[in-house]
Amino acid sequence: MKCRHCATPLQQTFVDLGTAPPSNAYVTEQDLTKPETHYPLKVRVCHMCWLVQTEDYTQADALFTKDYAYFSSTSASWLSHAASYSDMAIQRFNLNDQSLVIELASNDGYLLKNFVAAGIPCLGIEPTASTADAAEALGISVLREFFGHEMGKRLRTEGRQADLIVGNNVYAHVPDINDFTLGMKAALKPGGTLTLEFPHLLRLLDQSQFDTIYHEHYSYLSLYTVGRIFSACGLRITDVEEIPTHGGSLRVYGCHADDRRTDSEAVAQILQVEAQGGLQDPQAYLNFQSRVDQIKDNFIQFLIEQKRAGKVVAAYGAAAKGNTLLNYAGIKPDLLPFVCDAAAYKQGKFLPGSRIPILAPTALRQARPDYVVVFPWNIVEEIVNQNAYIREWGGKFVTAVPSLEVR
């Protein structure tokens, strides 16, 4: 395989998580008698541009289907994050009723509804019908296509270049990152700004966040590598912020390469932190597999110990993170009988691979588990607060990554 950005042959494996079905391909009861398609889940490192990337096995249209089961509005903390971003962007970029905001992978309208409420024209681009339907119900115009260079050129020809392009947790999801970036270049108005948010590779490394690796995530990104990709496509990073979402993310601000804006000091500072963290050194990636295996082994041991002790263990959050952990660890319903999720569209289905049933949160009161494993550890405080009543019978919450913690 060659690097998706610079075409350098890939020689170093970062981590090998065996095989698994796509993490959001939930199984219906009718499909329980059918086989699931499993793909290898192996991640490699490019020694030229330092793009960390999954091996080529799956196509985007096989992952992001019309019934793709991730709705951003499920998380209250994420909605709050989106509202705060919208307020900031409107003020910082002087957006008004003459502006245009385009969001790439606009999902269910969780973000753009804030711009609609402010009277700012916006356009969502979202290929999955289930989430696009939800956005359109909020009055958001949606193009139901995958974004890339051809669409960017089409928007430019139609006079629909954006004052602000937003891409939250989509940049890592695109198989052709060069084509996607060229599309942003084409769709961005001269003097316009684009912002991308994505989990920071540095945090994945130093906190052993291996469960953020799944087929839908083609790339694992650093500021250094994103800067190289931008530069190759005629864009430039002009500012960057570290934000706490998804276990530690970056929000980069981009513009056309010839834009007169000066770069903020934060860009150089984070590049230096990344260099000190070894992100451009093959050695930094060598012991990740052993750390992953230790986390996996500790989790399996915990579940076996509780089963032998006659304890009841349940889980909360039918999230992609949990599916990566469960499938790599080989966990089945005998060790973890059910997982609860607040999203009604997941309830009554089964987790891919493990076939663990997904129930409504009310099942926790009925089962009175001794332990509840929280898979989306990035919003663990929100989940603990929402389900604090399990402490009434002595129940405790557990997270497995970056290390096993009982709270």
Same domain, yes or no, for 312 and 244? no
pLDDT value at position 56? 75
pLDDT digits (tens, 9 = 90+) for 88-133: 999 999 999 999 999 999 999 999 999 999 999 999 999 988 899 9
pLDDT value at position 73? 66
Same domain, yes or no, for 172 and 199? yes
For residue 399, the Cα-to-chain-centroid distance in whole angstroms is 19
For the cut 90, the answer to whether the pLDDT of residue 67 exceeds it is no
Same domain, yes or no, for 313 and 272? no
Q: What is the pTM of this model?
A: 0.92
In a domain, 312, yes or no: yes
Same domain, yes or no, for 103 and 251? yes
pLDDT digits (tens, 9 = 90+) for 169-180: 999 999 999 999
Residue 80's CATH number: 3.40.50.150
Domain span including residue 94: 72-285
For the cut 90, the answer to whether the pLDDT of residue 46 exceeds it is yes
pLDDT value at position 77? 84
Last residue within a domain, chosen from 261, 285, 309:
285
Same domain, yes or no, for 274 and 402? no
Residue 350's CATH number: 3.40.50.720
Q: What percent of the chain has pLDDT over 90?
A: 90
In a domain, 33, yes or no: no
Please give the torsion angle defined by the CA atoms of residues 382, 383, 386 and 388, in that order, rounded to the nearest 10 degrees: -110
In a domain, 32, yes or no: no
Question: Among 1, 17, 4, 406, which residue's Cα sits nearest to residue 209?
Answer: 17
Same domain, yes or no, for 218 and 248? yes
